[in-house]
Amino acid sequence: MLLQLTVIVILVSINAFFAGSEMALISLNETKLRFLAESGNRKARLLEKLRKNTSRFLATIQIGVTLAGFLASAFASESFARLLVDASLTAGLSLNPDVLKTVSMVIVTCILSLFTLIFGELVPKRVALHHADTLALLVARPLYACSILFAPFVALLSASTNIVVRLFGIKKSEAGQNVTEADIRLMVDAGGNSGTIENEEQEMIHNIFEFNDRQVVELMTHRSDVVAISSDITVDEVFQLASEGHFSRYPVYHENLDNIIGVMHIKDLFNFYGKEAHFNLGSIMRPPYFIPFSKPADDLFREMKLAKNHMAIVLDEYGGMLGLVTMEDLIEDVMGRIYDEHDEEELVIQNCEVDTYLINGIITIEEVNDELDLVLPEDEYETIGGFVIGLLGRIPEDGENIQVSYRNLTFTVEDVQDKRIKALKLHIGPLPEEAPLPERNQREDL
């Protein structure tokens, strides 16, 4: 009896070894594994070899699990079923011996299956999931030895599998799939939900993917907000602008903003410090960098980095100035708003009452939707202020506080300057209940 139990425990332990090894290698930190392998860790190198040939690794695991399970089931059925039959007959159970043997084998198989499932599958996999790195290094050598030992069987299984797979029209090269952007986003969200990834890091990673889909027109400073200088500016005016302004670069125009002729850097003004009489704006102007409004943001970022350019003039389809975009604008789209010692933190979205928010009128509808979990349309208008003007059908007067509703949302204009809504208040009301469907008449008129 003791011998039989010992054999069963050994076979279930072998099953547990292969099941735990499979989970450990699947859950292994690939970056850490690569670092250990490059550092000269032999076990890590063996694991890399196993992971590179996934079909061989999985076939080795499957052979080990199947072999251990088959032997355990056969041995237990033969040994313990006979003991159970003898015990039943001794107890005086009057059943046909063949029926009694069949029932005994079913009982023994069920008990063994439960025992194997718990101690040969679930427990080792749970342990391997929580200690994947440590356990993977422990099983590296014996598992690699098994892969060599089972090589003939693995080759036979792989060939048979490939033949069957081809019948379904799947080529061998198509078996593996590259990790997609959606997969990475799902992993990032899972890490954020579990606390492994901070909220700021989660948002930054999502911003990186969205950055590739943006055009510069979405990130630029509109021409109505651009601070530019005229080509005929006086030396006193330019030094006053340098002392009072908060920018390091200014576009220079001739006659109007649609004729940008250069960019002036504040640092270049120091060449005329104490030599104001010799001031010549043209001598310190740098050539402007023009780009179309449809240019992808990621392409512009690479170009500006290579050219060491920090400001680009955005042109519309007619060649007029639409706005400008800086390197800081591009970085802020990924990293978030960057403030320096001269910047005043602007109101963006502030919760002032229950379900009521004070919102900067120039922020985008996309930002409002993301922050407040709304579904405002983003097709016709860029900013939330423009959206409210569209609802009103006119531009509010300075100092006018007017309300307008959209579904369960109520917008109140708080501040209007230069024909633009600078601030507004948004109240989110309860969603209207759906009206009950009318009951269908039992009798239809003919």
* pLDDT for the residue 438: 46
Q: What's the average model confidence in pLDDT over 173-177?
A: 50
Give the side-chain half-sphere CA count within 13 A for 354: 2
Q: What's the average model confidence in pLDDT over 110-118?
A: 84
Report helix, strand and coil shares of the chain as percent, to nearest 5: 55, 15, 30
The pair of structure tokens assigned to 171 is: 């080529």
**Cα–Cα distance, 82 to 89 (Å, whole number):** 11
Q: Which of 255-269, 275-289, 357-371, 425-439 has the lowest mean pLDDT?
A: 425-439
Q: What's the average model confidence in pLDDT over 56-64?
A: 84
Q: Higher model confidence: residue 208 or residue 443? A: 208
* pLDDT for the residue 440: 42
Which residues does 442 contact at the CB level (< 8 Å), separation at least 6?
Answer: none
* pLDDT for the residue 343: 60
| pLDDT tens string 224-264 | 889 999 999 888 888 888 888 778 899 999 999 999 999 99
* pLDDT for the residue 245: 74
Report yes or no: 47 and 136 within 8 Å, Cβ to Cβ: yes
* pLDDT for the residue 389: 93
Partnered with residue 417 across adjacent β-strands are 420
* pLDDT for the residue 380: 83
Q: Are strands 290-292 and 311-315 parallel, antiparallel or unpaired?
A: parallel
* pLDDT for the residue 172: 57
* pLDDT for the residue 94: 64
Query: What does DSSP assign to residue 252?
Result: E
Could you write out the DSSP letters of every residue in 140-170? HHHHHHHHHHTHHHHHHHHHHHHHHHHHTT-
The pair of structure tokens assigned to 331 is: 């970085």
* pLDDT for the residue 95: 64
pLDDT band at 435 (very low <50, low <70, confident <90, very high): very low
Nearest to 330 by CA among 283, 295, 298, 290: 298
* pLDDT for the residue 73: 77
Q: Are strands 229-230 and 249-254 parallel, antiparallel or unpaired?
A: parallel
Query: What does DSSP assign to residue 432?
Result: P
Q: What's the average model confidence in pLDDT over 333-358?
A: 79
Instruction: Using CA atoms of 402, 403, 406, 407 in order, give the dihedral in degrees to the nearest 10.
Output: -170
187 phi and psi, to 5 degrees?
Answer: -65, -40
* pLDDT for the residue 228: 93
Query: Residues 280-317, buried b or exposed e (16+ Cβ, 10 A)?
Result: ebeebbeebbebebebebeebbeebeeeebbbbbbbee
Nearest to 131 by CA among 120, 141, 123: 123
* pLDDT for the residue 162: 77
- For the entire predicted model, the pTM comes to 0.57
Q: What order do you get walking across the sheet with 256-265 strand by strand?
A: 229-230, 249-254, 256-265
**Cα–Cα distance, 418 to 108 (Å, whole number):** 86
pLDDT tops 70 at residue 267: yes
**Cα–Cα distance, 165 to 176 (Å, whole number):** 13
Percent above pLDDT 90 for the chain: 26
Nearest to 385 by CA among 426, 354, 355, 351: 426
Q: Which of 43-47, 275-279, 422-426 has the lowest mean pLDDT?
A: 275-279
Nearest to 62 by CA among 131, 157, 195: 157
* pLDDT for the residue 445: 43
Please report where in the chains the tokens 């009694």 appear, as a residue.
Answer: 100
Q: What's the average model confidence in pLDDT over 297-313?
A: 94
Q: Higher model confidence: residue 346 or residue 287? A: 287
